[in-house]
Structures are given as C-alpha cells and as structure tokens.
Chains A and B, each alone.
Chain A
Amino acid sequence: MPEIKVTPLGAGQDVGRSCILVSIGGKNIMLDCGMHMGYNDDRRFPDFSYITQQGRLTEFLDCVIISHFHLDHCGALPYMSEMVGYDGPIYMTHPTKAICPILLEDFRKITVDKKGETNFFTSQMIKDCMKKVIPLNLHQTVQVDDELEIKAYYAGHVLGAAMVQIKVGSESVVYTGDYNMTPDRHLGAAWIDKCRPDILISESTYATTIRDSKRCRERDFLKKVHETVERGGKVLIPVFALGRAQELCILLETFWERMNMKAPIYFSTGLTEKANHYYKLFITWTNQKIRKTFVQRNMFEFKHIKAFDRSYIDNPGPMVVFATPGMLHAGLSLQIFRKWAGNEKNMIIMPGYCVQGTIGHKILNGQKKLELENRQTLEVKLQVEYMSFSAHADAKGIMQLIRMAEPRNMLLVHGEAKKMEFLKDKIEQEFSINCFMPANGETSTVATNPSVPVDISLNLLKREMALGGPLPDPKKPRTMHGTLIMKDNCVSSLIFFSDFGCPWLEHQLRFTCRVQLQDAHSDSDTHIRIYTHLKSVLKGYTIQHLPDGTVMVESIVIKVSSSPEEPNTKVLLLSWSYQDEDLGSFLSTLLKKGLPAALSSM
C-alpha cells in the first residue's frame, strides 16, 4: 500500500524554523526553510543532516517550496541552498520572491554587521539562492517533473502568502503555511477548493483561541488613536516592518480620509519603503476593496502617511508615528518612546506580542519606572495600550479550512504541543479523520488508497453499452467484467475477455446472508408479513411477492425457511448482487431487528 511520509525538521510541535519534509509517491519535497528567532546557535536552522550526513541535498530533494516571506519560513534558505548545497528548483510566489531577499539581507546585516557573527551566508549567497527560485502564480498548476505537480492557493496572512497543493498521481498533500481565514483591511481570506487531499498540513498557532470580531478590535484601536490626537497627544505605534504595519497604515489612512483629519501620520523609513513599493505592485494579492479601487487610487499610495525624520520627534502638536522595531528593544521606536514617555497625553500602542526582557514587555505589564543604561530611570506616564492584530487562523478558522478542503488526514505543525493536543481531539471528534502532530524529526506515515486509473478497451465499453441499456443511470453503480492487465508492476488496462480469445462468461458476484428471526407464524405468513413490513418501510422501491413464496425487493431475493424442530425460529435467506450492495446490507440490518408486532393483525 502506498504511503505518504511527513517529517518536520522544524515547527513540529513548535513555532519557528518551519521546515517540513514530505515524501509522496517517491518524491521528496521540502516545505519551507525557516529559522528560529529564539536561538542564536546551530539550533537556529533546521537540522539538514537528517536528510544526508554529507554531500549536497540536490539528489535527495525534488523541490523546495516556500510559503511566504516571514523569516521563520524562509530564513534558512540561503544557508541550505548555498552552504549545505542544493541546486534543485525552489518555488515561491511572485511577491514572496520580491520581498524575501530584502528581509534576508536585513537579517544578514543584523547578524553579521551588528552582532559580528562569522560563518554566515553572504549577500552574494542570497543573490545566488534567489536565482534558483521559480515564481508561482495563484491557481497555476506547475509540473515540477513528469509526475509531481504543485499548485498555489491564496492564504491571506501576508502579501504573497500561499498554501500549496502537492500532487503525485492521485495522491496529494496540502501545506497551508501560515494563513488567515478572516479578511482584513489589505488582505483577503484564505481559500481552497474541495481538493480532498490525503493529508492537510496546517499551522495551528491559535489552536486554542477563538478570536473576537475584527471590527471591535479595529474600532477600539481607531477610537483610542482618535481620542489621543484630539487631545493633542502623540501616538507611537512600534511595528515590525512588514505585514501588520501595512495593515495598520491602511486602517489609519482610510480613517483619516473618512474623518477628514489633519494630524500628520509618519512612518519611519528604511526597508519598509522598499517593501511598500512591492505592496503597490502586487495589488492582485490584496483584498476585494483594494483590488477594485486601485484604478482610481492605489491604497498603498498613502496620502496622509509621510516619511519620518528624526527631527520631527520634538515637533509640537499631535501626530501618529509608526516606528520599528516592534518590541521597543532598540532603534528608533525606543528613541521616540524615551522622548514621549513623560507626557500623559501621549499614547503607545503595542500591536503585537513582546518577548520577555524587552521594554515592550515591561511596559505592557504595567511597569511605571524603567531603568535604562547609565542608571537613568524613565518614568512612564503615557498610556499604554495593547492591540492584537494577528493574521493567523484561529481554531474556528482552522476548522473552516478543513471543512473547505475535506482532507482524509490532518497533520498539525507550527504550534505548541499542548494546544495542538486540544485541536487534534476536536478534529478527530468532529470530522472523524486521523490527526497527527509529529515532533521535530518524528515521521508520520499515512497509508493512502489512491484510485488507480485504468484504460478500458473499446470493445468492452461497447459491449457494456449494448448490455446495460443507455447510460448514465444516476442511481446505480455499474460493474464491468473484464481482465486487468498489469505490466511493469503497475496497472495498465482493463480489457474484454474475448480480446484474449477466452469465451468465458462473466462472473456474477452475489452476497448471501442469513438472518434468524423469532416468529410464531407459518412460513407463508411470514412471507406476507415481511412483504407488508418492507412495503411500509421502503417507499419508492418495487417490492414483489412472487408466487413461489419469495419476496423480491428490486433484485434482492428474500426467502424464509424453518426447521421442523423449531418452527418459531425462521431463517431468512437474503441474496443480492454486488450492484445492490447498499440496499442489501440495509435490508439485512433491518430484518435483523425483527418484524414489528403490530403487523400480526394484518
């Protein structure tokens, strides 16, 4: 029996360092190649030695697919392709291909230039790596080789994020990457057709969360900003450069537009400007509203949002500033925070999660006095707000996706083990399908039952046409009688017996079944009783009582016999042909329940 094997090298019961190996139909595919934010040592990258101890990976992998540009999904790519060695095709969507190198370069700069690490990939390596990338379009089926094909679906989450369907023959796997089932201001909701994959590999970041409606969150956010600006206060929003930042920009931009507000909004420049450029280009990847209105005005050409300059920090009057980095641990955002923290009119809005130890984390926990370097203290008087704008699917969203795709098996990655456990139970319970949650390095195996396409010889087909009357009959399956020919260990064709010159007649497959019944009547009475009973139960079927004492339901024969020793114990003989399997098994279970007593009066 063919199998599909899935082995996470990263992101198995964990968040970060997404890297999943799939072998399907003799093909090996690597899904994502990310890095872990939490580590600075070797654990940062997936353990590629799992694939091979020495040498290049090229001969072991058929292709690599990157779902989106976040570093925990693509951060290890240059390391793998250039340093470990891989020359095969790498697939990603167009926006991912455009934005990914910017982020990799930024990541490299921070690690090498700031932290001074050596033995890291270089700019040239990033460039070389990107040369191996083949871009994907949404819903475009790409043949990787003769048998392996991949197809991308829209995933929401960030610009260019995609879910991928991998298909070999009739076996298939869908990998979701990160996705979002609720649309937001600039991205649509993830969508997939009913492709019924053998395995659906889904992220499960929010496996145990059901989120509130996004409108409440948006409204709260806008209200807070609006109030502060009206008071004449300044608002600082620390963000990471890509993804949520654009979402918040659009949100504020449209709000400013709608409410006719005048206060300036600034965005600290840097790599964001480059990225924004790509956002403007890839309009097709955004949501309905932006796609429909971009002819009049591209929503990413912000009218109210201007580039920030350090000298603006001390400007009087209200303003809103987006600044990197998001956790307030360094850089411009921290600098601005220090300046503005003393005024209670001001406000800081943290749009995401902050790692322990950062200033962001401290102020979120309500610390009022911060110790800075040089024994300075900073009093925090400004308002601190927390606003979660996460773009992952919540538990409901994951369930919704499962309902959309109707997979035969589930596999959860990219989440915490404990939370996965809960979701796994739920999935198994509600969809009654198997659900796996392998740890890193652990292999989950799924046996598949692929349908095998068979060519039918024309003779056979013609004969069937002649026998069975006009096609198609929506109510009944048809059996065909023929010979299967297998060549080279795989099925090739089904042909008519006589093509071989064998004059055998075809076989008929019949099931028979005995049902014991306690009934204190004579045989013929029982027959009539069965007849009336079935007649009342099976409406719309033809039920006949033949003169020889048998009851026929469609083509199912029911006969009653009893031994003279025990006249009350009747043995019902049921016989049906293979075509009537459904009805036959239904009848046998029905009759096993016995005949209703009320019938006796009839």
Chain B
Amino acid sequence: MAAHLKKRVYEEFSKVVQLPQEEAPAKKLRLTKPSKSAALHIDLCKASNPTDALQYLLSFARSSVEAESVEGVVRILLEHYYKEQDNSVRLKIASVIGLLSKTQNFNPESILDDTLNTFNTEKSHQVLAQLLDTLLVIGTQLPESPAVRHRLIEVACKHLSDTYFGVRNKCLQLLGCLGNVDTHLNKDGHGSVPPGIVAPGGSGGIGVRDVQSVISDYFTDQDPRVRTAAIKAMLQLHERGLKIQQAIYDQACRLLCDDYEQVRSAAVQMVWVLSQLYPESIVPIPSSNEQVRLVDDSFGKISHMVSDGSWVVRVQAAKTLGNMLQVSPQFLEQTLDKKLMSDLRRKRTAHERAKELYTSGEFSSGRKWADDAPKEKVDTSAVNLIASGACGAFVHGLEDEMYEVRNAAVDALSALAQSSASFAEKCLDFLVDMFNDEIEEVRLQSIHVLRQISTNITLREDQLDTVLAVLEDSSRDIREALHELICFTNVSTKECIQLALLELLKNLTKYPTDRNSVWKCLKFLGGRHPTLVLPLVPELLSTHPYFHTPEPDMDDPAYIAVLVLVFNAAQSCPTMTALFSDHTFRHYTYLRDSLSHLVPPLRLPGRKQAPGVCGIDGSGSVESAQLFLQQSLCRVSTIHNLQDPGAQDLLNFTIRDLQRLGELQAELAGAADFSATYLRCQLLLTKALQEKLWTMAVPLCLKHNAMATAAAKQILEETYKLEFLYSGLENRQVATIHHVRLQAKALQLVLTARTRRGVEPLISVCEKFLQEVESFQRLFVIELPHLQDSFVGKLLELSPRLSACKPGELVKILQTTLRQSGFLNLQLPEQIQRASGTIIEPTGESDNPLRFTSGLVVALDIDATLEHVQDPQNTVKVQVLYPDGQSHVIQPKPGDFRSPGPHRHRLITQVYLSHSAWTEACQIEVRLLLAYSSARLCKAAWRDGTTEGLQPTDGTTEGTIPFGKPVKVFIMPKPARR
C-alpha cells in the first residue's frame, strides 16, 4: 500500500511539474492527498531566493502530512537539500524532515539512510547540528532497533570532535538518548589503538570505550555549553535506566566549581544521581585519612552549593538536599549548625539562648544590653570559617535574598524532617523563624511545612509564642493555615494551652470572620490535651467554689470558643464535668444541638441522655448501620415486580428508614441518600404506571396524565442528581441511573403520544428516543448482561423491529415493556459520597440590609466549604435569586478555590449584586449550584474509539443542580441622588 502510494506521489508531482497545462482537471481532483507534497515541490522550485524558500517551508511545516506520503515528501525535500546553496534553507529542510519523521504511524527507518547520506557533503556546522537533531528524532522513534542505534551512535562519535559547540552538543544529546553501555565495550579490550594523539571521539577510539567514558571526556570541554550537554547526556543515560559508573563521581564533583552556572546546576543533579546510586560506597576525604560514605560526601558538597553565587544553582542545590534522605544524622544536623562568634569569643545563638532560658525555668528578661554577650574564648585554630561539608547550609538557604531559594530550602527542610524525628526537632526553630519572612508565599509555605512535620514534635512555650504571634496577620490564608497547624500541634504545658487560647480569642476579636476556624482549632486543641486543660477549667469557666458567678452570654463567640475547648477536653476526661456549673450544662445541651460538629457527646452524670446522642456514640454503630443498610436493600431486592401488592409499602418504608439512617450516620449518609433517591425514582415510576389511566380512554385521563407527567419530570431531575451529585460511582451505577432515565423518557413519550393528536410531532420524538437507546447501548456495552431482564434488555431484544416500526407501534411496545419490566436492583459501590456545599459567609442572620445605590454594584463576600466536589473550578457556580424572580449565575474565578484538605474545597469569592431601586430592603437568595453536562461522561467513553468521532453534542444535556442550603441576604438598592 505504502509503496503504491509512494509511486503515486512521484507520478503526481512529476506530472504536475512537467506538464501543468496538459493535466486533466478530473484527475487533479481525484488525487487530492499527495498534491500537498507536489505543491511543496513546485513552491521550492519556484522559490527564487532563500527567503521565499524559507517562507514555503515554514508554511509547509505548519500543515500535517499523511503517514503514507511522508517518505515521498522527504525525498523531495532531500533532493532540494542537495541543490540548495543557502545554509538557512538547508537547516530548515533538516528540521522539517525531523518534524515529518514524527508523523504518526510512519516508520522513519525508511528515510534513515537518506538522512545519513547528507552528512557526507554537509559543511555548515549549524546545519550539521540540525541534522543531528533530526537523527535524534528518528532515533527516539525507533528505540527497538539496535542496528539503527549503532549507526546513529557512530555518526555522533564521528562528529564529537567538531569545532562548533552546537554540533558537539547534539552529538552528546544523541549519545545520551541512544547510547548503551554494553554494546560498545570491545571484547579484545585495550592496546590495539595507538595511544595519545587520537582524539577520544575519533573513529578508532570508540571501539575500546563505552559511551559513558566518551561522554565523560566532554566534562572538561572548553565550552561550558558542551560541558552542560555532556552532563545532561549522562543524566539522560541514567534516566534510561543505565547504571552510571561511580568513577564519574570525582569528575562531577570537580564540575561543581565550574565557572558557569548552568554547568554547576547540572553538576549538582549529577552528583545527586550518583549519591542515590552508590549511597553506601566509601570515598576518602582529601587532605586527611578519613573516609565517609558517598552520600554524606555528596550531601556536604551540595550543601556547599547553597551559598553559590548564582541563585539558579542555589535553588537547584536546596531542592536537591531535600531528596537526600539516606544521609547520616550527624551530617544532616550540621546543616542547621552555625557556630556563632563575636570578637573571637563563642556566642550562643538566639535559639540556644531561648532553649536554655526555657530549660532553666527563667523567663527572658531581654532588658540588659549585652545579655547575649559572648562568654568563652574561642580557640582560634579550631574555628573553621568555611566549614567544609554541610555546615549551616540551611541557615544560608533560609536567609537567601531570592524567595525561590528560601522556598526550596523550606521544602527541603520539610522532606528531611519528615524522615528524621530528631532533625524535625532541630529545624523547628528555623521554620518558626520563617513565619516572619517578607514574602507571604514563603510564610505560608513554612506554616504548611510545620503542620506536616508537627506529628514529630512538641512545641516549647517560647516557640509557641512566636507561632501564635502570626495569628494577627492580616492575610486570611496565613491565619487559616496557622489554625490548621494549631489543630495538629502538641504542646507541653498548661501555660501553652492558656497562651494559645488567649491568642486565639484575640484573633477572634480582631477578625470576627475567623469564628469557625478558631472554634475548630480549639476543638482539636482540647481533644488533644485533656489533661492540660483540666487544671485550667475553673479559671476558664470562671467558676468559684463559694460564689455563683454571673452567667456568661451564650451568643458571645469568645465564650463559645472557651466552651468548645473545655467540652472537647472533657470528652476523654470524665472528671472534668464535675467542675461545671449549672449553666454550663445548659449551654452544653444548647451547643450540642446548634454546633454539633464542634461539641462532642459527653457522658454527663445524673443526666438522661437524649436517644439520638445514644445512637451515635459507641464505636460499633458504623458496622451495624452498614448492616442495616445492606439488609434494607436486600429486602427491597426481593421485589420482582413492582406491581406486586405491598411492594409500594415496602419501598415507602425503606425510603423512610434510609433517610433517617443518613441523618444519623454521617459516614453512610452518601450511600443511604443515594439508595433512597434511587428507590424514590422507582416508586414514582411504579405509581405512574399503576394508574388506571392506561386502561382508560384517552380523553378521560387528562387529570391523571398530569400526575404521571409530573412524576416523569421528577424522575428525570432525580437521575441527574444521582449521576452528578455523588462521587465514587462506578460504571455499573451510572448504567442503572441511565436506565431509570430511559424509563422516564419512555414514559414521557407514551404520555405525549396519548395526549397529542397527529403523528408528525411524534416522529421526531421517537427518533430521538431511539437514538438515546442506541447511545445507551454503546455506552454501557459491558453492563448489558446485568440488564438482561430489565426495560432496556427487553427493548434491545426487539431492537430490529423498533427502528423499522411506526411511531404508533413503538408507543405500544414501550407501554407494554414499561409495565412488564422488572425492578432493577441497585448495587452500592464501595465508597459513595454526596457532594455538599455550605455557605459560611454570609450567615443570613444579619438584619442590617446591605445598602447601595441602584444601578451600581455592591460586592458580597461569599465564603463556602465544599466537600466531595470533583473539579469545583469548573462545576461550582453561585446563583443569586432576586425577589422579582431574576436570577444570576456567577462563575467564580479558579483562584477563588483553595483546597485545605483531601476532598475538601474552600470557596472564598465575591459576587457582584446590582438591581434597580427598591422601596424597602428585601431578601435575596444566594445558593451554590453544581453544573453538569452529560457530555463529560460521553467524551470519556468515546475516547477509546476513533479520534475523529467527535460528534456534535446532540445528546448532551447541561444543567445545574442546587446543592447546599441557600442563604438569604438583606439588600437595599437606593435610588441614586441627583
């Protein structure tokens, strides 16, 4: 086939070129495909000067060529290549050949020989470099062929001694991408080649050397670009899975002091790779007899690079340090070590001083000048100013001028601290210091890092103090990250708890919007440290042994904060409740009800516990609830035919049970809701079908019809909810949902057929329905066996008849199939979660209307948490409903979404409201919408099929599902004053 086409290509262009006049127009039309290459040929022949030729080539490179005609095109190009005098045109031709060889389904082996031949005549270095690049493309297309690879490598070695750096670069790149260690080791080994004069890349040399040593020769090339390329080629070899020899380590280390930053940067990577390959081998320390592990040695060397002159290298080095987890602890801890000295006397760092003050139990006075005065005299010979090795690498990195370096250093600290608890302890001070960085990004990053390692550490009081100082930061992100951090922190003393509470309350008064976050933070703080909270309780609740103290205001957020802390501590500390006063208990029951997510159930002495509370605590309840769910579904599955008596009652009861279960058991809420909704769909369907209307004459059943139509519509809506509101659905469930939807649509079809006269409107509806059945079949081929007995199963049995029959017939078939089809059982997937959205801000409690001048806009701050929403940036929208029925849907910016945890998203955005003037304040409704489009699903299913089969979106439905409670906001647009 290909050969045949090739012939046609040749025929075609030669005819077009030589006999343009005599060409019959009919033939031209027939051969549309190869005409492109022919056109190129004409163009290139026509081109009088290099600029024109370049233009043609450029425009040609933009269009795509079919795989069959590539070879022909390449021949044409090469023909021109040999004729062409101008370097730039030849260069472009070479690059176009490279581009062409990437064409899908084209085997570039066929053009390899031709391409290689060009090397014999080429004189221009630039063109040579480009040709090598083309070879690289060809080579990477043919990874399986050793013969090709061998030839390419030979070419590369031959040109390694070129004087132009670009050629050497490309050769090295080629060697890196294609070179192989074993293929080039000559068996008879050494001695056969005359020593000395022959250049390492010379034709004879390659016989005895393997690719690695050839490449490593160029580590000392005179051109920094070539040196970089050599290191990169070596790294490429490593990436391809070849084992790099340890002998290269010394050379790589020497390159760390290269004059050029790109070389140093690549060398850092190289040294790192070697340290990962040979972590345990031993290397000598120069100028001493000691030896260290290679990974330690390289760690020291890379640490040194953190104080390099170029920030690119510093970033690279700092990043790399984070990946060296095998390093020994004493080296690791050196990175944080910086011996201080003042006037030749040893001085303690502020960190050490703080620690000492803490351990000695004395609080820092900080009032005396020179209380940090240096003490002991330093032995001058022992002070090592450029400490070799890792000394103080992170101290430097964290103080760097460029925030990129600081960020990389913080990341590296995090990685290392997570692998070593003692290091985590040590780096704490430094991370805490970073909370004070001038760039918010770095501050935020260090808070996150501290949170990640906080399982390893306990904060000292002075450290906590510094951490808490950041609570006053005006940036909301910082504060929230800090709250998150405090949730996971361990503290050591009760003073710490007190301090934290105090600062959090301060935060609360300064930024009241942080309310929820602060409460949540205190919930964890209390839950983690019950014993530390216990001695504080009387003080916190301001109880007095003899006197009754005034009852605090229940609506005071600060008081609630204190209660949240106490109640959560009391959960695991039963003696605490004895300290509560009466009103505390009352407040407990109130809060337990209103803020149940923050206040845990407590065992209160002498109090009857609410039954609801009883059901929830107790750890076994999840399993029992699960069992209950399974049983309910089992019971339902016994229904074979929905027409059975009692089936409806059973469904009704099960739906009720499941709904209640969902309310009680948060873990199973998703599954319970999902099945309840599904069952409700079934119930509705049954009811609609059971009506007597089907036996009645058409004109009599208008009223009943209305009911059935409503049911069909509702089922449709519910199926969309089922499909898009729940995450964790498998293909099987989706099929079931679509099946229900199909049933609903069939019902609609039947109803229209009954109510309308005439056939014309029916024809199009029927066609649409049949299309849907077809697409259902296409989408869920795998699931069809499970649907054997169902509505669709039966329909498909009749499918040949269906497409042929008239609308009237179809309706009849549908009607009987609908009524005969059995109940399709629902299989619950492993994990199923319902997407939920809660608007935290605005709260909807405010009675003060938002006033603004009509016609202008006012910004309303929205703060909402979203759970289990997939891809919220594209799906979540905010809807604003005005009292006059106007509604606006606002798409928040992608940047407004943050992701504080898995499956959790936070939407902090502003919506702009505007309206014409009102006479008095009125409420608008703000709600969250989940947008869906069935196209998403269909595209995923089509992806494995043909690529061109992107059908027009005829079958897609788009819409929105409201989720979460709407919030009402008072607004008052005033008429503009003139």
Which A residues are closer than 8 A to B by beta carbons? 182-183, 185, 188-189, 191-194, 208-220, 222-224, 226, 254, 257-260, 287-289, 350, 364-366, 383-386, 395-396, 399-400, 403-404, 419, 422, 425-426, 430, 468-475, 540-544, 552, 554-555
Contact = CB atoms under 8 A, between A and B. Distances in A.
A257 B190 CA distance: 72
Interface string B175-215: 00000000000000011011111111010000000000100
A544 B401 CA distance: 56
Contacts of A430: 385-386
Binding site secondary structure of chain B: loop
10 contacts: A183-B400, A188-B401, A208-B343, A212-B349, A213-B430, A259-B473, A396-B392, A426-B383, A474-B200, A542-B193
B351 A209 contact: no
Contacts of A403: 307, 386
Contacts of A468: 197
B222 A474 contact: yes
A470 B385 contact: no
* Most interface-central of A191, A289, A395, A472 (chain B CB within 10 A): A472
**For the complex of A and B, 7 pairs with smallest distance between CB atoms:** A183-B401, A216-B350, A542-B195, A215-B433, A260-B474, A386-B369, A364-B369
Nearest to A555: B196
Contacts of B341: 208-210, 395
* Most interface-central of B194, B386, B472, B475 (chain A CB within 10 A): B386
B229 to A, nearest CB: 13
Contacts of A216: 349-351, 433
Given A224-B366, A542-B194, 14 more contacts: A208-B341, A213-B338, A213-B349, A215-B434, A216-B350, A222-B436, A259-B473, A260-B474, A289-B403, A384-B367, A469-B197, A474-B222, A542-B195, A552-B195
Contacts, number: 161
A220 B403 CA distance: 22
B436 A215 contact: yes
B340 A212 contact: yes
A191 B309 contact: yes
B220 interface: yes
B471 to A, nearest CB: 9
B472 to A, nearest CB: 5
B307 A422 contact: no
Nearest to A299: B438
A287 B380 contact: no
B221 interface: yes
B433 A260 contact: no
A185 B259 CA distance: 30
Binding site secondary structure of chain A: mixed
A601 to B, nearest CB: 23
Contact of A475 (B217, B350, B403): B217
Interface string B614-628: 000000000000000
B395 interface: yes
Contacts of A257: 474
Contacts of A191: 309
A544 B213 CA distance: 21
Interface string B362-404: 0000111110000000001001011000001001001111110
Contacts of B328: none
Contact of A422 (B190, B342, B344, B399): B344
Contacts of B401: 183, 188-189, 287-288
A397 B870 CA distance: 51
A543 B439 CA distance: 61
B122 to A, nearest CB: 16
B385 A395 contact: yes
Contacts of B161: 470-473
Contact of B309 (A193, A210, A211, A254): A193
B240 interface: no
B163 interface: yes
Given A395-B341, A473-B199, A260 B510 contact: yes
B472 A260 contact: yes
B852 interface: no
A473 B201 CA distance: 9
Contact of B220 (A212, A396, A475): A475
Interface string B448-485: 00000000000000000010010011110000000000
* Most interface-central of B217, B403, B472 (chain A CB within 10 A): B472
A422 B436 contact: no
Contacts of A213: 338, 349-350, 395, 398-399, 430, 433
A399 B392 CA distance: 14
Given A212-B350, A474-B220, A399 B195 contact: no
A439 to B, nearest CB: 21
A214 B400 CA distance: 11
A400 B259 contact: no
B439 to A, nearest CB: 6
Nearest to B511: A260
B590 to A, nearest CB: 33
Contacts of A396: 338, 385-386, 392
B524 interface: no
A255 B822 CA distance: 71
B184 to A, nearest CB: 15
B727 to A, nearest CB: 38
Contacts of B386: 396, 399-400, 403, 430
B218 interface: yes
Contacts of B196: 542, 554-555
